[in-house]
Amino acid sequence: MGLFRRFIDAITSASKEYPYTKQWFEKATDSELKEAREPIRKKAIYDGDSVALMWLDIFNNVMIERFNKRYEKEHPGPHEAIHRENGRYLLNDD
């Protein structure tokens, strides 16, 4: 997580066009994240802006982290891996 935070700090200080800080990401709701992410996604995809692409990665990482935390809260305990003698996730009909 430390590397991710340093990456946000570096991008924030280098880019004045994107006014997002780590405090903003921590306080923003899911709907605010989605709303702020959409113009950045369009700029990254349609304009080919590499800085927008980096910001899109940051938004995606923050959203994935939130979804994972929410999932862990809803499904506590160890998660069972599915293994078969003929490989992972394959049917046992050999």
How many whole angstroms separate alpha carbon 59 and alpha carbon 46? 17
Q: What angle do CA 28, 65, 76 make, to 5 degrees?
A: 115
User: DSSP state, 89?
Assistant: T
Per-residue pLDDT 10s for the chain (94 aa) are: 566 666 666 666 555 677 888 888 999 999 999 999 999 999 999 998 888 898 999 999 999 999 999 988 998 887 777 666 665 666 655 5
User: Tell me, what's the pLDDT at 27?
Assistant: 92
CA separation (Å) from 81 to 78, 92, 94? 9, 16, 21
How many whole angstroms separate alpha carbon 70 and alpha carbon 60? 15
What does pTM read for this prediction?
0.67
